[in-house]
Amino acid sequence: MDFKELERLINLDAFTTDKAGVDRNGAVYAQWLQPLGFEVERYQRELIGDHLMFRSERRPGARLLLLGHLDTGSPAHYSPRFTEDDGWVYGPGVCDMKGGNYVAVCALRNLHEQRGRIANVDLLLVSDAEGGSGDSHSLTAALAREYDSCLVFAAAGSRHEVVTGRQGVAAYVIRLSGRSFQAGSLYTQHTNATETAGWLASALIALSDPERGSCVSVARIGEDGVAAKVLPEVELLVEVRYSSIPERERLLGEFSELLDSSNLRLVDIEISGGIQRDVMAPDMEQADWLEQIEEWLGYPLKTERRTATSDANIVAAEGVPTLDGFGPHGDGEHTRKERARKASFVRRIDEVTRILQAFDDQSELVEESRKWLEKDSLTH
């Protein structure tokens, strides 16, 4: 295959905060997908790129959501242009996630070429995934509920693994307000916000349980100050990562117990934040979806779990069977060395094409039996 179209995409900057750049990328997908019969639903945004939902024709039967993102994690000034050699393509987004989106587009084109139309398969491309999907989160969650299953186009593993699990992440800002005073006095009264924050930070970090895949980390932000003066306020940035729902419950439960501790009674506490992307954990429905795909392909797929989150977390949290990693294999995401393997594009496009064909055959069957039942009820 040639990579001219991908080159065009890669050379359009699309850092999350570059609205014009992200929208220019979105326009390319619209130009490619409208001729295949997709309607574009545009969720306009002022400060970030528009989120785009590409909808195909509706029929009775199961619905499949394909999910990617328009933005990249590399600012324009930082990014090299597209290059290629015999084995690899290079450039910002070649695997995360312009390359993955391109796999989806090529597979949809193949399906359209074979069937002359596409039904019940939609593609959602959000504009802010690299910024944590703060804006698109609720949109993705709401749209996801319309679907029976989902494929996400993050990079494949090095042996073409698909991703069955991703950690959940919750993030908080805790502001502790004590009293300001000259160093050397009042040390027994626990009104010292710095001292209290130190105690709280180590208690929070101690909730980590690496064996169960949980990690709590704390970054402290204080104002500029001098050691001779105790600052009245300290802010803690807290990030909680977990690999299962029981661990989420344990961590958040113990977290709120800590905040009730008597050690904190003499300072004021303000807390904001919450779950950013909930855990994606393997379950029965996902296992069935994977088994169905393996049956369609005729061979098993290797699987892996990752610590990093993606928008797959959001869809999976809505109870939709979700598999991630359907993009090409690559590495160096968000760095100058981002690259993706050419052969991997060929493999993934072939696989996703066959998945879409089999999915379409299945909904064709549903459609035929519906028509047959209708006819049957008319003749009786």
Number of residues that make up the chain: 380
Two structure tokens written together for 254? 């113990």
Shortest Å distance, C-beta 96 to Zn ion:
4
* CA contacts within 13 A on the Cβ side of 283: 15
Local structure of residue 372 (DSSP, 8 states): H
For residue 315, what is the enclosing H or E element?
Answer: helix 312-317
For residue 3, what is the enclosing H or E element?
Answer: none
Number of residues that bind Zn ion (CB under 5 A): 2
Binding flag, residue 99, Zn ion (CB under 5 A): no
Output 21 or 73, the one with its CB closest to Zn ion. 73
Rounded to whole angstroms, how far apart are CA atoms 205 and 239? 10
Shortest Å distance, C-beta 380 to Zn ion:
57
Rounded to whole angstroms, how far apart are CA atoms 192 and 180? 8
Q: Which long-range contacts (CB under 8 A, 24 or more apart) does 375-378 make?
A: none
Shortest Å distance, C-beta 348 to Zn ion:
17
Contact with Zn ion (CB under 5 A): which of 96, 135, 161, 247?
Answer: 96
| Site for Zn ion, residues 60 to 89, rule: CB under 5 A | 73
Rounded to whole angstroms, how far apart are CA atoms 143 and 138? 9
Applying CB under 5 A, the span of 10-18, 91-99, 176-184, 191-199 interacting with Zn ion comes to 91-99
Tally of CB atoms within 10 A around 323 = 23
Name residues whose C-beta falls within 8 Å of residue 354's C-beta, 6 or more positions apart in sequence.
296, 297
Site map (CB under 5 A) of Zn ion, residues 21-60, x = contact:
----------------------------------------
Rounded to whole angstroms, how far apart are CA atoms 319 and 136? 18
Residue of 96, 85, 233 lying closest to 153 (CA atoms)? 96
Residue of 41, 54, 157 lying closest to 101 (CA atoms)? 54
Output 56 or 276, the one with its CB closest to Zn ion. 276
Site map (CB under 5 A) of Zn ion, residues 322-361, x = contact:
----------------------------------------
Shortest Å distance, C-beta 112 to Zn ion:
29
Shortest Å distance, C-beta 130 to Zn ion:
5
Output 96 or 135, the one with its CB closest to Zn ion. 96
Residue nearest to Zn ion (CB): 96
| Site for Zn ion, residues 300 to 319, rule: CB under 5 A | none
Output 221 or 308, the one with its CB closest to Zn ion. 308
Output 26 or 99, the one with its CB closest to Zn ion. 99
Rounded to whole angstroms, how far apart are CA atoms 296 and 354? 7
Rounded to whole angstroms, how far apart are CA atoms 240 and 191? 26
Rounded to whole angstroms, how far apart are CA atoms 319 and 309? 17
Output 18 or 96, the one with its CB closest to Zn ion. 96
Applying CB under 5 A, the span of 96-104, 135-143, 209-217, 296-304 interacting with Zn ion comes to 96-104
Shortest Å distance, C-beta 154 to Zn ion:
8
Shortest Å distance, C-beta 45 to Zn ion:
19
Output 152 or 230, the one with its CB closest to Zn ion. 152
Output 51 or 63, the one with its CB closest to Zn ion. 51
Binding footprint of Zn ion on the chain (CB under 5 A): 73, 96
